[in-house]
Amino acid sequence: MLSHLEPSCPPPGWAPALWPGRMSRPAADSLDLWLFHVTDAGLRSVVLDRSPLDPGERSRVTSFVRPLDRGRYVAAHLALRRVLCAYEGVRPAELVFVRRSCPCCGGPHGRPALAGADAPHFSLSHAGGLVLIGVAGRPVGVDVEALPPPRKAATVSEALHPAERRAVHAAQPALRPAVFARLWARKEAYLKGLGTGVGRSPDLDYLGDPGAGAPARPPGWTVRDVPVGPEHAAAVALERAPGADPAITVRTHHLGVLDASAAEVLAGR
């Protein structure tokens, strides 16, 4: 179950939007968020055209054992291309992706990026049937997480910052999966924005709630929760320009649900 909402309806705070035509690039202190529902029924009812994907993406598709996982990956990456081509003014298949250098080791496996010095920054995450895309004028990371079973939340929370672990343990048992998922989504979004992923230990940085006695959050970044419904947690992390105000402008766009019309749009037709 994606949420208690009908999949074609936007969650609270998300404005319905048509698939984008031409979009202006976000300013340095703003970002665009795009949400797309990919239901199991939608995947069973359409055939997704993989031709816009590059060889690396098509190779990744074949690594998934379950057809459902293959379909979700294809839908998410087609959606990313379709959104980004609105900013770049090209067709989805014409986008060229590169990898920035890893901040941890310098290897070629850092943050994904569009080729070209003036291209917008972006981040993609998908979990279950939700696809979340962030586009910004500065480095950005997004993450969406399905609420885990209680045992998984208890186990994986041991990898968090000590103060974050305490927040999970202090929550009522029934609420711990949601508390953990919210913290983990913030963590993943921040680490993806940095370009390190979990190459940087998740226990080093505090992304919990601010307040009296709480550790400081990483400087130079604004991290926010993103409302996506009761069955998931999501977050976005945006790098701020030096000296910039922590406040940022977020434009949200709900792209609806995967169906035959959306499949045509995803292919760039």
Return the SS3 of 252: strand
- Whole-angstrom Cα distance, residue 50 to residue 67? 14
Q: What is the mean pLDDT of residues 152-171?
A: 96
Confidence grade of residue 3 (pLDDT, cut at 50, 70, 90) = very low
Identify which of 235, 234, 260 has the alpha carbon closest to the alpha carbon of residue 128.
Answer: 234
Q: Quote the distance between the C-alpha of residue 42 and its chain's center.
A: 21
State the CB neighbour count (10 A cutoff) for residue 4.
9
Residues in the chain: 269
- Specify the pLDDT at position 9: 64
What pLDDT, in 10s, does the model give residues 68-113?
999 999 999 999 999 999 999 999 999 999 988 888 887 777 789 9
- Specify the pLDDT at position 8: 56
Identify which of 110, 35, 109 has the alpha carbon closest to the alpha carbon of residue 75.
Answer: 35
Q: Is the pLDDT of residue 5 over 50?
A: no
What pLDDT, in 10s, does the model give residues 16-34?
766 878 899 998 889 999 9
Type of residue at 243: G
- Specify the pLDDT at position 225: 96
Confidence grade of residue 2 (pLDDT, cut at 50, 70, 90) = very low
Average of per-residue pLDDT values in the chain: 90
- Specify the pLDDT at position 110: 79
What pLDDT, in 10s, does the model give residues 202-261?
999 999 998 888 999 999 999 999 999 899 999 999 999 888 888 889 999 999 999 999
Q: Is the pLDDT of residue 193 over 50?
A: yes
